[in-house]
Structure 1
Amino acid sequence: MARSGQRQAGARRSSPRNQRRVRSRGDLVSVLARAVREVEAAAQRGRVTSSVRTQFQAVALLLRDERARVQAETGSDSRRAEQLKRLDGIATILATTAVRDAGLLALLAEDAVASDAARALKRDMLASVGVEPAPEDVPAPEPAAAPVTPERRVVPQSVVSRQLANPFLAPDFSAAPQRPPRARRLASWELLGPLFSSFERAGGGDSACMALPFPTARYTPAGAELMAHQGQLVAAAAAGHRTFLLADEPGLGKTAQALLAAEAADAYPLLVVVPNVVKTNWAREAGRWTPHRGVTVVQGNGDTVDGFADIVVLNYEVLDRHVGWLGDFGFRGMVVDEAHFIKNKTSQRSQHVLQLSDRIRSRVPRPLLMALTGTPLINDIDDFRAIWQFLGWIDDGKPLGELMDALEATGLTPADPGFYAAARRCVVDMGIVRRRKVDVAADIPARRIADLPVELDGAAGRSIRAAEQELARRMVVRYDTALANRSSGAAVEGVDLELVRRVARSELKDASTGEAGENVFSMMRRIGRAKAGLAADYAAQLARSAGKVVFFAKHVDVMDAAEEAFAAQGVRFSSIRGDQTAGVRQKNIDAFVNDPGVAIAVCSLTAAGVGINLQVASNIVLAELSWTDAEQTQAIDRSHRIGQTEPVTAWRIIAAQTVDARIAELIDSKAGLAARALDGSDEEVAASADVQLEALVTLLTDALSARPESGAA
């Protein structure tokens, strides 16, 4: 654990004045030492149960508090140094134990939520040495739950227009299911604890996937094909299944499965709640897989929302201001992407998601509800709780509806030895779908590139778009000046493409010598910096759900920004750069390859694109574009090489509606040309300057074509 993090966390949680000492606290260190040794022994045996995680977190909480107290204590410096040395020894054991188990490592994060059980154990450990807990550690009576009141609520004008345009568009809730009360054999049993425990008790060979039918009907548009594993889930929705915890590993196409499951279930209107980084990609994928369905993306206050769309996509960050009208919109389906974002039920976004889900289930007969995540568990089995509640499988205290019926049908109680295996099977059959890349390797190519478009919002996005417009305007002036100075005086119809290319070459020459102002090189660097945070967030998500990730960037400041984001999120990384000595470079490579706790390798696209082996990762994030397909391929081949046991996916982060997207298309087109011309050779037909030139040609052509009389003399 970082000492700065311990000091900050300790300062927040406790201060010396908040705890009253009854007798010497020297015994507390001994209690912590014994407890951490027990946790270490359990981790070495591979038996990290919920009770072990509770003990681990209680020790971490006490350790932080005790460190803050010792540092604030007045008295002998030597005594304080000795106490801190003993606490550092406990911290070292905690850290080395945590790297054995991702769940334990996550508990050391600054934003990790302390469970009630860990807080209770912390109080007990303090009491065992005669120390009264701090006031904030004493559980207060729970206040009556108050409705979440956001700072501002909005109703987009288009939604109002939808409501007024046709009274028949008002949602009809008359068919909402009403389940009559029934006598339950298990009504007096506490069932949620045993249900969660059934997943901890499961053996390594126990299936974590419901039985799925063979795909028969076709729901894809012409020219698009689903992979076999994707078609199975869509077939389950077509057969009438309506709740899914889709926990496939990243790269297996969860977005397409969710969109076509909605098509198979006719679950429209469909609400999709996603992280901001993938919002644009969801809209693009909806256009690809369900092109006949209108899709609208909610930005900010929703001024551009299409109230008549079939699919409404918005991100968690703006959910609070839109939850009012969303609850009355009449959705028949809801998808929550990266559903582990709602694991903390006390958070506002979790409460809003659960509120919307409850509203949909109370008004619509058998709505489609889908939770998508490659990481259903982060800290504890209890992370399942909010997801299961979103899906309508449980409430705060008991199983509901179909799950309760299934448990009753087993004829067992938690006192029976066979209950746990049967209960787990009941939950899995409710709709848990988990496939790994290695399970469906025959479905997916050994290496593929998946583009992830992102919107550059805020001041940085506006500045980049303004700079791009200024670059286009400068080239238009050059074009018009050259056209006016032609000696031939011949009239030109439309855009003179030859002149466009001459102007673009001149602009590229000035940019390469530094004579131009804003140019294509500075533009790409600014776009890279603007994408850095979004790319880092996505890489961190991948690391949590799929294991190790290689993160490539071209510029040092982009790497710096990404590493700062990883450090802030508590994600350990190795840095592989061109200015490192050979020894430092190899040490960092070895740390990424051999240390289970190092989740991400942050690599220079030019310095780490050749000569290193990173087969330990099968997911790559390309935060910035290279100028050639060959450079991009070399980077991907750090993981896609002999020794790799899984298909490799490279996630290319693209800034939508900027020159970044144009350059991505040009790189891909040049790659296709090289493949055709050289019959598979890796050598580039076109140099990087060709892509730069074509990007400027496209930018100038678009600007001229947008004028009322483009190119007229």
Structure 2
Amino acid sequence: MSSFGKRSSSWIDLTGSDDENSAPQPKQARVSASQSASASQPRPSQSLNARDTWGEADEEDEILDLSQDADEGNGWVCVGAIDGKIVGIRYYDGYATMGEQVMVKREPRNPYDSNAIRINNVQGTQIGHLPRNLAAKLAPYMDSRTIVIEGVLAGEKGGWDCPINLKIYGPGERIARNQLEARMKQDRVPIRKLGIAAPKQPKQAVPPPQRRQMGYHSSQSSSQSASSQPEPLPGLGIEHFVANSERFNPRDVEKMVEQWGAGEDALKAMPFAEQPEGLVSTLLPYQRQGLAWLLEKEHPVLPAPGSIDVVQLWKRSQRHAGFTNLATQYTTAAPPVLAKGGILADDMGLGKTLQVISLILEGGPGTTLIVAPVSVMSNWVQQIERHVKKERNMKVLTYHGSNRKRMTHREFGEYDVVVTSYGTLGTEYSSNGKTAEKIPRKDGLFCINWARVVLDEGHNIRNPSTKSAVAATSLLATARWVLTGTPIVNTIKDLYSMLKFLAITGGLERMEIFNAILTRRLAVGDPGAEAILQSVMRTWTLRRKKDMKFVDLKLPELSEYVHRITFRNDEREKYEALQAEAKGMVKQFQAGKSKNGLDMYRHVLEVLLRMRQVCCHWKLCGTRVTDLLPLIGSGEVVALTKENRAALQLLLQLDIDSREDCPICLEELHNPVITACKHIFGRECIEKTIQLQNKCPMCRAELADTDCLVHPAVEEKAEEDPDLDVETKSSKTEALMSILTASRRDPKSKVVIFSQWTSFLNIIQHQLTEAGMKYCRIDGSVSAQARDASITALESDPDTRILLASLSVCSVGLNLVSADTVILADSWWAPAIEDQAVDRVHRLGQTRPCTVWRLIMEDSIEERVLTIQAEKRKLVGKAFQEKEKSGKEKTTRMGDILKLLS
């Protein structure tokens, strides 16, 4: 029998059984051979079907897989293997070859065997299922999420069954692992020991590239003690602040992309494209190389017959007349569909926008869809107007806003470029958590096959479960592009989401296979996984950095300083009271005296937040969360009255400000919401959970529907606070105003002030008004039109020399080269966010030397945040380090808290 699987032209009766251990299948699960055959082929990017948001396919016999989360088991260890077999294969048409990675799926709704475990190939087509007796032993472990199972075909398919090797992964923590092994032995699970392959530190598996020395570098007068610096006085020049601050060089982040992407010599030798005729601006040499790479990736070609070349991990099969994927060993007789597009991951400020505009000019006819954050949508329109020749007559449409007209594919086709937002894309994909309609549709963004889709700031889709990621992946497109300066933000799963969007084929586009091939094997330093990752990065990613010699941006000097400020006595008193409260709570936590662990944890987080806010201004503390907890009671679920909603919103904001993760997907909170039982999740994650089980995954409280979810309070436009007056200045605002006064001695100097709290921007705004300094402002409450007006004012109005900017809104996408000075008024947990903010100013097009001021209160939590940032920057290959789904997460977080309070 062919290893590709048996074919039949008739309907297949699945009610019988070929093995006494086989799991009988329901009659309504019947599929035609032609349907199954087509389903097993790689999916063309230009004909994507709408898929269930969380499922693998839109099959009629959809499996509700409650047992094995696609992301489960990251960082776990292999506890053994089972030499088994797949039965029932004569009833299924899934392709299968020896050595091929396969997917092990629980099928709890199978009416003939509630323990059923089916085996799918990497394309999601069923090959068969595990024998009844083995499935009965493994199903309870899968259902309780105690283990994760990987499968590889261990031999050729026979007429009745096929050998399979199952690797069993369990928790890495020793006690939990020992308990698992003892239980499996008691249950007589036929597992053989392989030895524990413990995750290695990334620096053992990934040799670090050459890097610059990290640390604080004293300025010419840094010998003066920061603690003895004089109180800033009006009229001091900027040289005073330079002399009394520490030189700071923060850019020491080791990124996976640099390690595994093409080396600088290879990048320098890349071919050049011709200068586009329709472009006003002259492309720099490395940008012409980028354009050549973009054009090549939109026209990939499979290896020719007899060739040993590898294209997108596909090579000509040596054993069969077809193609084999090197990552998964999946073999197909039909030519696989190659992905058109890739990830342009150039360093921030190297002109990714201009390179894509050049691609649109040179890449042939058709309409390009650009999806961007709201804050940068207008930048695309402006850049196209600025760089494209008028006679080219490029037609651009901004498709955004509640009053937009739902357009047909013919109407969209009249434009060269359509610019929309991630929010608009998600809204048109689905609303109110309902399953999306089939695609293509009669109108809207999902009615047309776009010539190309470009995701600006593409790391916005790094969580594959969010509505934005699912919607972007579901777009119909011939070519797909991701633009991002930070392709790996937290973990390797960020890369997975982008590969899925690109519509790659062969298996890595499925989370189970991605984890089996890359995530878990990279954690133990598997050389084969490292080689695959290197091939993936070099195939689909182009990354150039500012400091590469051949790039030669000739950017002006960037000087970064930490300016330490001394507390006033009254400020120190407030700060130390909060610090003592936090230390007392931590002692109770460590002694096990806290009755409610979650409330205790929230109390500590809240005090830490208030300590950071007191460093800026005492007024930021506002209503204490600890004062509100009695209002919403100690019960599991609270009534959603107006008062309780307001209290829950404050609890939610606390987690948002504290940069907490979604406990379901372990990613940064995405569209955060809080339940009536006071637990906080990403909206898409908890909505799916409610749909599946109507229970909170944290406390098992009943959650009837999504009406029990409370969303964040709407950010309101800044208004003048009557309680603010000249007497409410803090030490930090006085230092900030002194730096502003000194910088204004240079009539051409302009300043961007970043803060993570809009309430602090309100205080600074009041003091700017008092001082008669003209400013503009961008935050989350500002409309797109008002944002454009603020940027225009900063660029063209000589009297508008200050921009107040929300760090979360303005750290990406904006071009702020009209300024030359950045003031980071408070410290952000993630150093990459601050780096991105600085790169809004120090980027291509900047002509003046740039200065960055980090304002830090001396001997405070802000200094320790800076230390933690430095530790994070020094981590080698941080993207390899996956979080564990275990109670250790909070323990690790508490360790960081102890550092902050030390």
**Shared fold per TM-score greater than 0.5:** no
Which has the larger share of strand? 2
TM range (shorter): 0.3 to 0.5
Q: TM-score, length-normalised on structure 1?
A: 0.37
| More helix as a share of residues | 1
Relative to the length of structure 2, the TM-score reads: 0.30
